[in-house]
Amino acid sequence: MPTRFRFSAVGLCLAFLCAIVAGPARADRGHTRIATPSQHGSSLMPTDGRGHYGAELEGLVTAVDTGAGTISMDDAVLGAVVVTVDGSTVIRHGWTVMTLDQIVVGARIHVKAAPQDGGGYLAAAVFVQNNGSGTQGGSGTECATEVQGTVSAIDCGAGTMTVTTDSGDVAVTFDPNTLFFTKGHTASTCGQIAIGDTVEVCGTPGETSVLAAKVNFEAPEEGDTCGDEVSGIVSGTPDCDAGTLVVMTDASGEVTIALTDTTQYFGPKHTSATCADVADGDVVEVEGTLQGDGSIVACKVSFEPPEAQEVEVSGTINGTPDGGTMTFVLTTDQGDVTIDVNSETVIQQHHNLKTFADLADGMSVEVNGTLQGDGSILATKISIE
């Protein structure tokens, strides 16, 4: 028992010491995996094994040597620094890929790089934040001024555009770094901008123009060419060949409707129809464009027959009913009225069905039916009294 106790204590001490020694190493390796980003594929180290791409540099460019492939910059913390670029270095301004010779003195850059044994840094990525100003520079991501208006002239080849604002015309210039976006912030090109488009420009003001960093543009909304409406009763039979229709309205009286090949027609319950289906007396609603003479060019014509007015009259048959036209004259307290009969009219006497031939001069009858436009009544039921 004593021996086993001493052996366990020694093992416990050894395990404790190992944990103290190994713990920092494991923690350091874990920290390296998490904190160091990969800039060249899956490798965390330059190909020559020196340093890693964990250094962050930011400042103004003081010199560019395209032959040596170097950028001299004034880092905000380290001071003067030389950064080397190679074939794997990514240089970007926003979403635009750049080359070393496009970076100018005075540009503000952010660099992800690896420290080198002999001094300096090897760049994995160079992000151009503001590529200078004045005559040297191109556009930057920071907007010192904004211009909003309508494009009145544009020449993408020359890199110029005129924007008409509420205060007058403003000259805008582009450079290779200018970013273009359509509605919805979709990346685009200068060539898609058209005269009349609405634009928002941000950039750097110069002596005679604004150097654009970003241009947002969209085409003007199409005008509503079917925004005028009129409703009423169709007056007369439409002339479909001539493309005209007259509508009697309560407010303006008769309004002439011009019908075109693109005019759409809709009958009751919005069923598809044609001009020939529109009839005199129909209730109609027209959507179109009002003209200077008061007429309307129709985009859509919606119509339906007028609601039938149900009536009931009583009186005496005046004269022998006409079997040829299926009509007779009924004398009522208000005067004579013509009664029309068709195959659907029900004729009865004391609940017994009768026919039109059973009707005779002098009979007292009660008529239920629909009032017609000419004042006659289309009988649905005739009761012989």
Rounded Cα gap, residues 113 and 120, in angstroms: 9
Strand duo 96-97 + 272-273: pairing: unpaired
Rounded Cα gap, residues 258 and 266, in angstroms: 16
The answer to whether the beta carbons of residues 80 and 72 sit under 8 Å apart is yes
Closest CA to 256 of 271, 235, 227, 241: 235
Looking at domain 228-304, does it have CATH number 2.40.50.320? yes
The answer to whether the beta carbons of residues 224 and 175 sit under 8 Å apart is no
Give the model's pLDDT for residue 8.
Answer: 42
Domains in the chain: boundaries:
55-130, 145-218, 228-304, 309-384
For the domain made up of 55-130, give the CATH fold. Answer: OB fold (Dihydrolipoamide Acetyltransferase, E2P) (2.40.50)
Give the model's pLDDT for residue 30.
Answer: 32
Rounded Cα gap, residues 342 and 295, in angstroms: 40
Rounded Cα gap, residues 200 and 95, in angstroms: 19
Looking at domain 309-384, does it have CATH number 3.90.480.20? no
Reported pTM:
0.34
Instruction: Convert 259-268 to b/e letters by CB count within 10 Å (16 or more is b).
Output: beeebebbbe
Looking at domain 145-218, does it have CATH number 1.10.540.10? no
Backbone dihedral angles phi then psi of residue 5, each to the nearest 5 degrees: -65, -45
Give the model's pLDDT for residue 108.
Answer: 84
Q: Residue 37's beta-bridge partner residues?
A: none
Give the model's pLDDT for residue 1.
Answer: 40
> Do the domains 309-384 and 55-130 match in fold?
yes
Closest CA to 303 of 247, 373, 362, 384: 247
**pLDDT tens, residue order, the chain (385 aa):** 443 444 444 443 444 433 433 343 333 333 322 233 333 333 444 444 445 667 889 888 889 999 999 999 998 888 899 999 998 899 987 767 888 988 888 888 889 999 988 889 999 999 887 765 433 334 444 567 889 999 999 999 999 999 999 888 999 998 888 888 887 677 788 989 988 889 999 888 888 888 888 899 988 766 567 888 999 999 999 999 999 999 999 988 999 999 999 999 999 888 999 999 999 989 999 999 888 888 999 999 999 988 878 899 999 999 999 999 999 999 999 999 999 999 999 999 998 999 999 999 999 999 999 988 788 999 999 999 8
Residue 269: strand, helix, or coil: helix
Give the model's pLDDT for residue 131.
Answer: 67
